Amino acid sequence: MELLPTSLERIEGGIRIAWSDGVTTAYRAGQLQNACPCATCREKKKSGSEDGSGPIALPVLSLAEARPLVIESVRPVGNYAYNVRFSDGQDCGIFTFEYLRELAENELK
């Protein structure tokens, strides 16, 4: 059976998706942003947690981070994924349905 979202709604701090198999999953804005599967974000994360050979990363709080992160829009991409746009302008991520389900399952553990 193909797994498809049957409903998508905005909840406090994030979104909730109901799936064709009866399961409902919820995501916080920050959780989704951290999990962005695109190459740019994965690369950024990698360089941020390296062995310290690069420039020292001092903690910063950007204006965007100082505001609560909000999911601005969630648009379908084909019939297999969602493109999520965040209030800080990040909209690079294509979250496949499969990946979204994986994220939710990891969160429950």
Q: Does 36 engage in binding with Zn ion (CB under 5 A)?
A: yes
Could you tell me the CA-to-CA distances from 5 to 39, 52, 77 in Å, in that order? 25, 42, 13
Count interface residues toward Zn ion (CB under 5 A): 5
DSSP letters for 71-92: EEEEEEETTTEEEEEETTS---
Q: Does 104 engage in binding with Zn ion (CB under 5 A)?
A: no
Cβ at position 41, least distance to Zn ion in Å: 3
Q: Does 69 engage in binding with Zn ion (CB under 5 A)?
A: no
Q: What do you get for the CA distance between the two ends of the chain, in Å?
A: 25
Q: Does 86 engage in binding with Zn ion (CB under 5 A)?
A: no
Q: Does 29 engage in binding with Zn ion (CB under 5 A)?
A: no
- The smaller minimum CB distance to Zn ion, of residues 95 and 97, is found at 95
Q: What share of residues in the chain are helix, strand, coil (percent, to 5)?
A: 30, 30, 40
Of these, 15, 74, 84, 93, which contacts Zn ion (CB under 5 A)? 93
What residues make contact with Zn ion under the rule CB under 5 A? 36, 38, 41, 92-93
